[in-house]
Amino acid sequence: MKRFILRRLVAMPFLVLGIVTAAFLISHATQGDPLISVLGDRQMDNPEVVAAAKARWGLDRPLPEQYLVYVRNLLTGDLGISIRTKQPVTRDLLVRLPATLELVIAAMIVGSGIGIALGVLAARFRDRPFDHFSRLFALIGSSLPVFWSGLILLFIFSVKVHWIPGPGRLDARTTPPDFVTGFYTVDSLIAGDFGKFLDALHHLALPALVLGWAVMGIISRMVRASMLDVLSQDYILAARARGAREARVLFHHALRNALIPTLTIIGFSFAYLITGAVLTETIFSWPGVGSYAVNAARNLDYPAIMGVTIVGGLAFLITNLITDIAYALADPRIDMK
């Protein structure tokens, strides 16, 4: 196991370099001029102003030189300055990543928790009304575009029945807690401000549900299929013959084995949501990495595009590794060599 992890860790920097090179080439090959977001349309016709801006952002240098400078800075942990926000990209990401992680973790808790429960019960009550209901629920969650379900649920729960606050991570009139982890729920607890904690939690509920619903469907269907497979095994029959209670059979004997393929889905969903939560972040005015990525792409903000790509790539690599390890822990028969 140790050798496997070490091998993966050693390969990681090379994979990151590949991602960096591909992202650099693709973003710079795109037709477009990032200086429009710095100077505005009018000044783009002023050669003196454009030349000054190019020099400031290093865009006057040959592309290979720009690449080498970027990689050299990257080795020292410097991701550059965002052309759009004018802040160091590292700082931008450090501020936004906790917002996205808080949302994605909450969404994964909702999606996995409810998805697994639905999957287990759907398998147990196969072809009965609950199974049909869970299938429909999963189908709706997976099919509805997040921008639509988000707006509709906001309208119902925020505007009409006032159960949920509006968009944002906190009430707009509330000052955010001091930055410790960047998770407002955690930071407000650290600050001892329980009111702010409840406000943060309350704001988190709906976007987490909307985002979690999208992955809930896949997880519940995957668990159902695996559970049906496992429930037909002899050892389940044996457990029942020994008089084990049904809940124990389902959750202790069957679910543990049925969860193994689901772990992969959960792992990939997590990595996907870190960079893919953009629509939810937009609808709920959630200042996370997803919306940062979209703004970076739209404005051709090269340093930000590169930064997000590296973070996204790392997220996939790390979650992949964790998933493989979890896989091995869940099923000792899997050989990690």
Minimum distance from residue 253 beta carbon to another protein (Å): 23
| Candidate list 66, 130, 264, 287; residue touching another protein; CB under 8 A | 287
Residues 6+ apart with CB under 8 A from 146: 210, 211, 214, 279, 280, 283
Q: Is 35 helix (H, G, I), strand (E, B) or coil?
A: coil
Residues 6+ apart with CB under 8 A from 263: 323, 326, 327, 330
CB nearer another protein, residue 157 or residue 268: 157
Residues within window 61-100 making contact with another protein, judged by CB under 8 A: 84-87, 92, 95-96
Minimum distance from residue 107 beta carbon to another protein (Å): 10
Minimum distance from residue 326 beta carbon to another protein (Å): 19
Minimum distance from residue 296 beta carbon to another protein (Å): 10
Residues within window 220-249 making contact with another protein, judged by CB under 8 A: none
Cα separation, 142 vs 13, in Å, equals 34
75 touches 53 (CB < 8 A) = no
Interface with another protein includes 58 (CB under 8 A)?
Answer: no
Q: Is 81 helix (H, G, I), strand (E, B) or coil?
A: strand
Interface with another protein includes 332 (CB under 8 A)?
Answer: no
> Residue 53's CB: how many other CB atoms inside 10 A?
20
| Candidate list 3, 14, 29, 48; residue touching another protein; CB under 8 A | 48
CB nearer another protein, residue 206 or residue 231: 206
254 touches 231 (CB < 8 A) = yes
Sign of CA dihedral 295, 300, 301, 307: positive
Which 8-state DSSP code applies to residue 1?
Answer: -
Residues within window 166-205 making contact with another protein, judged by CB under 8 A: 166-168, 170-176, 195-196, 198-199, 201-202, 204-205
Instruction: Specify the stretch interacting with another protein by CB under 8 A; choose among 37-45, 239-247, 266-274, 320-328.
Output: 37-45
Minimum distance from residue 136 beta carbon to another protein (Å): 18
Cα separation, 265 vs 323, in Å, equals 9
- Count of residues touching another protein (by CB under 8 A): 76
Instruction: Specify the stretch interacting with another protein by CB under 8 A; choose among 14-22, 28-36, 122-130, 230-238.
Output: 28-36
Interface with another protein includes 261 (CB under 8 A)?
Answer: no
Residues 6+ apart with CB under 8 A from 86: none
